Copies of this chain bind each other. A is one copy, B any other.
Amino acid sequence: MKIKDIAKLAGVSAATVSYALNDTGRVSQEVKQRILDIAASNNYTPNLIAKSLRANRTFTIGVLVEDIKVLATSRIINGIQKYAESHGYQILLSDLGLWEKIDCRYDEAVLYKDKIQSALGLFESLQADGIIYIGMHDRNVTGLLETDKPVVYTYCYTEKKNDFMVTYSNDIAYDVTKYLVDAGHKKIGLISGPINSTPSHKRLLGYQTALMESGIELNLKYISVGNWEYEFGYSACMEFMSMSVKERPTAIFAMNDLMAIGAIEAAGKLGIRVPEDLSVVGFDDTEIGRYYHPKLTTVALPLQEIGSIAAKIIDELSNGEPVQDQEQILPCSLIKRETVKERK
């Protein structure tokens, strides 16, 4: 069923059908209704490919993800979809599957430039209106995507000045630390991600600032720098707890849920109770923490919003509208559950 077919049935020209269907141009009520009826009863679906060819717009957003299996990725995509759906866009997805290839979660995605370029090539060939990159790795992303189309980096950071970026704020690390201090803790262990990781670095800063403002001296033996793995959380906590009872942390802030759970496991092994003897805060608000026992106090990221805003930027850019902020950094929130004892 094409426009031509409708035209023939309605006894008008193809142009008139197009005008009627798009509610543009001048078509009499009578003829318009006839055309609409015919289209509906033959369930005509417009050929967007032809439309796109003509309009040089596809109403399609290319989404390039480092790994679809990471939950945060899905949540961001969910946000993109929400916007896309209500604004007539369709999502083109390409999954780089990085996680299964680089064992080292904080490795550089630069290695995958070929793969990225080929995915990008497809997006360009399919005339995507813009590209959203969902970057889960730690380093700043820069010089990865070579394209003339508008690009929005999400989750990760970029240094490129002509691209857009929407991510979460690590300032929450400040609030978490404050929260622990207010709960009466003075010795707060920090289980960090790798040192060369941008978010780790920013969170460390928040931790330091909060301590300083609270008049607590920064003590390097309370900072454990590692990877993002469960096992590291476990061993880091073991090390903390090997200190004398006087010295050892009464609270631990882990930079992700996995390490937080690892830490709690270690404490359990040593007979140290959480939260009675040791408070623990995680980061990411993953399912693991929600169903763990005790339920993990953690930080939730505004992932869905990140996705929606990224999609909105592409939309505005494609419509030639001005976009307010090149960078948007959304606040996180602390989810108080069962692993922090708020003693006074």
Contacts and interface: CB of A to CB of B under 8 A. Distances in A.
Interface of A: 45-50, 52-53, 58, 60, 63, 68-69, 71, 73-75, 77-78, 81-82, 90-95, 97, 121-122, 124-127, 230, 258, 261, 265, 268, 286-288, 291-293
B91 A94 contact: yes
Contacts of A292: 292
A93 B76 CA distance: 13
B58 A68 contact: no
Contact of A95 (B46, B78, B268): B78
Given A71-B69, A291-B261, A90 B81 contact: no
A197 to B, nearest CB: 21
B53 A49 contact: yes
B126 A49 contact: yes
Given A69-B71, A78-B97, A81-B95, A90 B287 contact: no
Contacts of A287: 286-288
A274 B292 CA distance: 16
8 contacts: A45-B125, A48-B122, A71-B71, A74-B74, A77-B95, A78-B97, A90-B92, A90-B122
A84 B60 CA distance: 18
A78 to B, nearest CB: 6
Contacts of A63: 93
A291 B293 contact: no
Given A78-B97, A261-B291, A126 B230 contact: no
Contacts of A77: 68, 93, 95
A285 B131 CA distance: 33
Nearest to A55: B49
Contacts of A127: 47-49
B94 A92 contact: no
The 9 closest A-B pairs by CB, nearest first: A48-B125, A81-B95, A93-B93, A91-B93, A69-B74, A68-B74, A45-B124, A49-B52, A49-B53
Contacts of A50: 53
